[in-house]
Amino acid sequence: MRKLPALFSLITSIGLWYACTQHPQSKNVSDKPIIKINNHVVNIAYTDIGKGDTTLLFVHGWCINKSYFNEQAKYFGNKYRVITMDLPGYGQSGKNRNSWTVNDFASDVTSVITTLKLKNVILVGHSMAGEIIVQAKLNAPQQVIGLVGIDNFKGFDGKPKTAKSKADYAEAIAMLKKHFKAVATAYFNQDLFYKTTSAAIRKRILNDVANADSAIAIASMEDNNFNTTAKLKASKIKLHLINSDYTPNDTIGFIKAGIPYQLLQIHATGHFPMIEKPAEFNRLLQQAINQI
């Protein structure tokens, strides 16, 4: 069981038809063009509220969905244009493709940026979406002006993956394939909740994990080839992090690799600060936005 953190610390498209969601302020997108890449069409559910020269685009983490940013959309929608999206395979988005790599998801984010003609985009990515938004920045260097990670890159050391780390990762994937719900639920309970995480929030998250498409969830993690150090350097942009301190935040790797960063720590939450302490999280996110 203790090998699972190795998996989750390492993880932290294409064709689209933008489907409208049930959010009361979502734009009706039925007149949006169908975008086809490699003859595939994948529905992407999203919300689009607010106006402004700056766009905040929120990308969720593993086994959850765009609703985890409802409080942020409500708060920031009166200052900025705010987009929340369900990655393909999750939430209300489509599942009709076979590839679920970091590059695939980054291409999904890029397609949202391109199709909605977003500008001055600040990408905000939770957990595994940290790597996704870094690649999306490389895909759309002119449109993306800022990167904000949420509870990710906590153990970044800047070193290449070792044979042992790869073996541990493969073993964790094998465990998920055999007993997805049991292993994933145990991991969340053991490592992603803090003592102050409410029972209601725990229940919500565990329900989303239990009802995730296990094949897609596992495939989303199998891509262990993302060169985080090289990609962060290539992005040539400061990485802003809003991380809980329920587990240590090691920043030595950023310093050694020469990667500019800002760490804003939020106290007494687990892995989901945006829903555990939304007011404090929003205040910290505004600090990051102001710097960007």
Q: Report how far apart, in Å, the C-alpha atoms of 248 and of each of 27, 124, 265, 291 are.
A: 40, 21, 10, 24
Q: Is 203 exposed, middle or buried (0-12, 13-18, 19+ CB in 10 A)?
A: exposed
Which tens digits make up the pLDDT trace of 203-253?
Answer: 999 999 999 999 999 999 998 888 999 999 999 999 999 999 999 999 999
pLDDT digits (tens, 9 = 90+) for 41-93: 788 889 999 999 999 999 999 999 999 999 999 999 999 999 999 999 999 99
Q: Write the CATH number for 157.
A: 3.40.50.1820
Helix (H, G, I), strand (E, B), or coil: what is residue 85?
strand
Q: Collapsing DSSP states into helix, strand and coil, what is residue 226?
A: coil
Write out the residue range of the structural domain in which residue 222 sits.
4-291
Can you tell me the distance from the alpha carbon of 291 to that of 288, in angstroms, rounded to the nearest whole number?
A: 5
Kindly report, residue by residue over 102-126, the tens digit of the pLDDT. 999 999 999 999 989 999 999 999 9
- Our count of domains for the chain comes to 1
Asked if residue 157 has pLDDT above 90, the reply is no
Region 148-167 average pLDDT = 86
The two three-digit tokens of residue 37, written as one number: 């890449």
